[in-house]
A and B are shown apart, each in its own frame.
Chain A
Amino acid sequence: MLGTLSDALALLAGFDHRLLEIVGLSLRVSLTALAIGAVLGLPLGAWLAVASFPGRGALIVALNALMGLPSVVVGVLVYLALSRSGPFGSYGLLFSPAAMIVAQSMLVVPLIAAVSRQIVEDAWKEYAPEFAVIGIGRPQAVALLLADCRFSLSVATLAGLGRAMSEVGAVMIVGGNIDGYTRVMTTAIALETAKGDLALSIALGIVLMAVILGLNVAAYHLRGWATRRYG
């Protein structure tokens, strides 16, 4: 056990090329999915927070339920959509990083939208009377609330990144875990553990944990700084 841990640390200390490649792809895929998730999820959540229409409650319940969507289900859905016989099969995206980005985006968008809906709705309850008297319309309110809640929302997006980076089922199905092409940290850990190469698994696990821990530390300090700076 200690020998395996020592090997894992050696891989990290030596900036192992294979390890760096996997970490690099993981970050590229997950950060891109996060960007898509933020661009779509934040306005969607904010709009749901201020909108008033029949079925809004059902939509919110559905969005909240989608937060817990199993990643393998998303993987199967994206697989079906991108496979040769699927509606987007002609793009040839299956078993590519692009397919993994699509799958992770589908996991991240509902999470960011649902959390941001709650954050923005709390602010909206506070601001709505003042906005109404001033004559701020709903689209302007969405923009203002997104700006006003930016620090709380940044924590929501970091949670989205955590979700993207830690999931394994969807990227395994739509990426195929191809060495040097679609192998990311989680799928590599699953594969290398099955093969018995625990050193690489542990090294990747340490990196993954460090990234997740780093995100949480960043979120904690961002909130603290924002409270001191902006009240």
Chain B
Amino acid sequence: MFPLRVRGLRFEPNGRTVLSSVDLDLSGEGISVILGPNGAGKTLLLRLLAGLLPADGGSIAWSGAAQPDGRLAMVFQQPMLLRMSVFTNVEFALRPQAMSAAERRARSAEVLDRVGLAHRARDCARLLSGGERQRLALARAWAMRPRLLLLDEPTASLDPSATEAVERIIREIRTEGAKVLMTTHNLGQATRLADDIIFLADGRIQEHVAAPRFFAHPQSPAARAFMQGELPWRIAFEP
């Protein structure tokens, strides 16, 4: 599955360029954080990698292959939760896998315990708080034992304590061997979590460096402006 190599990736809906030429190399370890202004195409890049959208050009190669040979999971900014119990919302995600019902139940119970939702397993998922919903979405992704976990602003609109809980889970998932690629607007969160930073602006990756180096000395003018809060925030298409 790794290294992941992206070359010249383009996305141009209705002739409007959102991603013009993205080149990216990712190893299979650590947490990579995609930073960039609104409309830069961060979510779009995750969706292209997940295969949810067809690119208009360029290539994505997973260790040389067109399709990843390991499991990929994604947690969306607004996670989809079925009108069913918390437990079922994890368990159903394991049904496509070659597992017995007993194994599915056991693994679902295990991850719910690890994200602190075991006591709410029988409750209806849609009645959870925002932080609990995001933990449930992470539990569902975790249960799939992904090799690559894509997270689209996993703590957007969460309070500090819920954010801390989500970050703790992300670290645990990383510790268990999953590669995490996530977007965030929260620079503090990027500082806490990121091993490396991918800075996306103007339709391309401006920088991809180790996190300490990025925060100490952003190289590109766009990254420097972003860090100083000067980069204009564009309202643009981000499906």
* 1/0 contact string of A124-158 vs chain B (CB within 8 Å): 00110110111111001000100111110000000
B114 interface residue, CB < 8 Å from A?
Answer: no
B83 interface residue, CB < 8 Å from A?
Answer: yes
Residue of B nearest to A150 (CB): B83
Interface centre among A129, A133, A149, A229 (most CB of B within 10 A): A133
* Contacting pair B51 A132 (CB below 8 A): yes
Q: Could you tell me the distance between the alpha carbons of A132 and B51 in the complex, rounded to whole angstroms?
A: 9
Q: A229-B124, A230-B124 are in contact. Are A134 and B144 (CB under 8 A)?
A: yes
User: Min CB distance, A222 to chain B, in Å?
Assistant: 13
* Contacting pair B95 A140 (CB below 8 A): yes
A231 interface residue, CB < 8 Å from B?
Answer: yes
B50 interface residue, CB < 8 Å from A?
Answer: yes
B15 interface residue, CB < 8 Å from A?
Answer: no
Q: Could you tell me the distance between the alpha carbons of A180 and B124 in the complex, rounded to whole angstroms?
A: 49
Which of B70-78, B158-166, B169-177 is the contact stretch? Answer: B70-78
Q: A134-B96, A230-B126, A231-B124 are in contact. Are A148 and B83 (CB under 8 A)?
A: yes
* 1/0 contact string of A150-188 vs chain B (CB within 8 Å): 110000000000000000000000000000000000000
* 1/0 contact string of B38-77 vs chain A (CB within 8 Å): 0000000001001110000000000000000000111010
* Contacting pair B80 A127 (CB below 8 A): yes
* Contacting pair A129 B52 (CB below 8 A): yes
User: Min CB distance, A194 to chain B, in Å?
Assistant: 49
Residue of B nearest to A145 (CB): B82
* 1/0 contact string of B125-139 vs chain A (CB within 8 Å): 111000000000000
B210 interface residue, CB < 8 Å from A?
Answer: no
Q: A140-B96, A229-B124, A230-B124 are in contact. Are A129 and B47 (CB under 8 A)?
A: yes
B84 interface residue, CB < 8 Å from A?
Answer: yes
Q: How many residues of A contact B (CB 8 A)?
A: 21
* Contacting pair B80 A230 (CB below 8 A): no
Q: Could you tell me the distance between the alpha carbons of A150 and B144 in the complex, rounded to whole angstroms?
A: 27
Residue of B nearest to A228 (CB): B127
Q: Could you tell me the distance between the alpha carbons of A2 and B96 in the complex, rounded to whole angstroms?
A: 66
User: Min CB distance, A144 to chain B, in Å?
Assistant: 6
Q: How many residues of B contact A (CB 8 A)?
A: 24
Residue of B nearest to A134 (CB): B93
B233 interface residue, CB < 8 Å from A?
Answer: no
Q: Could you tell me the distance between the alpha carbons of A140 and B127 in the complex, rounded to whole angstroms?
A: 24
User: Min CB distance, B86 to chain A, in Å?
Assistant: 12
Q: Could you tell me the distance between the alpha carbons of A193 and B110 in the complex, rounded to whole angstroms?
A: 68
Residue of B nearest to A229 (CB): B124
With a cutoff of 8 Å between Cβ atoms, the chain A residues found around residue B116 in the complex are none
Q: A129-B76, A133-B50, A133-B52 are in contact. Are A144 and B82 (CB under 8 A)?
A: yes
B89-104 contacts to A, CB under 8 A, are 92-93, 95-97
B79 interface residue, CB < 8 Å from A?
Answer: yes
With a cutoff of 8 Å between Cβ atoms, the chain A residues found around residue B97 in the complex are 135
With a cutoff of 8 Å between Cβ atoms, the chain B residues found around residue A144 in the complex are 82, 92
Residue of A nearest to B73 (CB): A133
Looking at the complex, which one of A126, A135, A148 makes contact with B84 (CB distance below 8 Å)? A148
Q: Could you tell me the distance between the alpha carbons of A137 and B80 in the complex, rounded to whole angstroms?
A: 17
User: Min CB distance, A211 to chain B, in Å?
Assistant: 28
* Contacting pair A126 B80 (CB below 8 A): yes
Q: Could you tell me the distance between the alpha carbons of A226 and B126 in the complex, rounded to whole angstroms?
A: 11
Looking at the complex, which one of B72, B79, B83 makes contact with A230 (CB distance below 8 Å)? B83
Interface centre among B82, B96, B124, B140 (most CB of A within 10 A): B82
> Which are the 8 A-B pairs with shortest beta-carbon distances?
A231-B126, A135-B96, A130-B80, A230-B83, A133-B74, A230-B124, A134-B93, A148-B82
**What are 24 A-B pairs with beta-carbon distances under 8 A?**
A126-B80, A127-B82, A129-B47, A129-B50, A130-B76, A133-B72, A133-B73, A133-B74, A135-B97, A136-B92, A136-B95, A136-B96, A140-B96, A147-B82, A148-B83, A148-B84, A149-B83, A151-B83, A226-B83, A229-B124, A231-B83, A231-B125, A231-B126, A231-B127
Q: What 9 additional pairs, Cβ within 8 angstroms, besides A135-B97, A137-B96? A: A126-B80, A127-B80, A129-B50, A134-B140, A140-B96, A144-B82, A148-B83, A230-B83, A231-B127
